[in-house]
Amino acid sequence: MKTVLGGAEIIPLCARLIQEGEVVGFPTETVYGLGADALNEEAVRKIYLAKGRPSDNPLIVHVPNVEEARKAAEVSPLAEKLFSVFSPGPLTIVLPKKDKIPYTVTAGLDTVGIRIPSHPIARAFLEACKTPVAAPSANLSKRVSPTTADAVFDDMNGRVPAIIDGGPCSVGIESTVLSLVGDPTILRPGGITEEMLRPYLPTVKLFSGKVKVAPAPGMKYKHYAPIVPCILYGSVRGAEREYVEWTGMGKKAVILSRKKNVPYWEEKGFSYMNVGDSGEEFASNIFRLLRYCEKLFDVILVEKPGSGGIENSLMDRLAKSCGGKTVE
Ligand code: TXA
Ligand code: MG
């Protein structure tokens, strides 16, 4: 299959492909998605095939507005309120599903995750599709989520008919998945933080523990992991020791450093990449840099994010990328 890669001008073509039951890569503000008509089970099965993903992991349904969300799920007044405050944006709310959403999308669950993305191309694309679009992140299963169209192309060339290029994703890590079925629970921390939700959900808690069904990424499957070892470091001294050890064995190491520590690595003459200054910059750069570095280096040393806000969500992803490996 030949994969067409184009900008906003291919939105009409891609909307038609969706209506014909095909799978399309498209940008959102979080990460790129791999979309199909959520009402067409055959089309949804093609997503799992393209990703090489087990079909027991539920997909998020993307819609352009709350009115369309109501057609896919039971939108409670609380959910309505949260959508009005945080959407369009990086928040997915898990709600009881309507009958028209097939179990192929929800992996057999009676609930569905609904998201209204804010990326202008995602919005135009969803409007043009005129059907809800089920989409996971557009990476091959177990790989780092793509935050550029090139990264999607790397994983999906020849596997999907088209990819829409909307530039680099601004948030850079996946949406917050919030369940409002039962006690409000954050199943996956993301762009909308616990602190941001708390004024509306005083009792909201972060999911911890074991899941049997409905895993959020990383709970059941290995996610976000580069193809080379990745290690979190808590101090420049720890990173330096690790770097010297790897390079001493003839391996190529790279340090993903916060901007303030860049002069330190510069002075040492070590290989490094700047992840940025704020937590927001760090999040928007991290997946792109991991994908870039895994091609060029044998080990990636990543500066540990701080705590609070988006840095908690970053830590969640990086703990998985590094498989828990840390040096202090
Ligand atoms: O930012 C994002 O959320 C991106 C973009 C493309 O929208 N999508 C994304 O999809 O990250 P995915 O499939 O990689 O992760 C969605 C996760 C699922 O793995 C699942 O754990 C959780 O959301 N989820 C979806 N539906 C659910 C449900 N009904 N109950 C519990 N968790 C659900
Ligand atoms: Mg994913």
Residue 136 has pLDDT above 50, yes or no: yes
Tell me which residues have their CB closer than 6 angstroms to ligand 1.
28, 30-31, 33, 57-60, 92, 94, 106, 109, 111-113, 115, 135-137, 174-175, 177, 187, 214-217
Cα 254 to Cα 251: distance, rounded to the nearest angstrom: 10
Cα 163 to Cα 3: distance, rounded to the nearest angstrom: 7
Ligand 1 atom 15 nearest Cα: 136
The three-class DSSP label of residue 155 is: helix
- φ/ψ of residue 279, rounded to 5: -60, -35
- How much is the pLDDT for 192? 97
- How much is the pLDDT for 215? 46
Residue 30 has pLDDT above 50, yes or no: yes
Whole-number average pLDDT of the chain: 94
**pLDDT tens-digit readout, 270-309:** 999 999 999 999 999 999 999 999 999 999 999 999 999 9
Ligand 1 atom 17 nearest Cα: 216
- How much is the pLDDT for 221? 46
- How much is the pLDDT for 222? 54
Q: Which residues pair with 254 in a beta bridge?
A: 300
User: 275 C-alpha to center of ligand 1: Å?
Assistant: 25
- How much is the pLDDT for 209? 60
Residue 261 has pLDDT above 70, yes or no: yes
Ligand 1 atom 13 nearest Cα: 136
Residue 214 has pLDDT above 80, yes or no: no
**pLDDT tens-digit readout, 74-129:** 999 999 999 999 999 999 999 999 999 999 999 999 999 999 999 999 999 999 99
Crossing angle (nearest 10°) for helices 11-19 and 120-129: 40
- How much is the pLDDT for 246? 98
**pLDDT tens-digit readout, 229-260:** 999 999 999 999 999 999 999 999 999 999 99
Q: What is the pTM of this model?
A: 0.95
3-state secondary structure 106-136: HCCCCEEEEECCCCHHHHHHHHHHCCCEEEC
Residue 315 has pLDDT above 80, yes or no: yes
Strands, sheet with 230-233, edge to edge from the N-terminal-most edge strand: 272-276, 253-258, 299-303, 230-233, 326-327
**pLDDT tens-digit readout, 164-190:** 999 999 999 999 999 999 999 999 999
Ligand 1 atom 10 nearest Cα: 136
User: 76 C-alpha to center of ligand 1: Å?
Assistant: 20
What is the chain's length?
Answer: 328
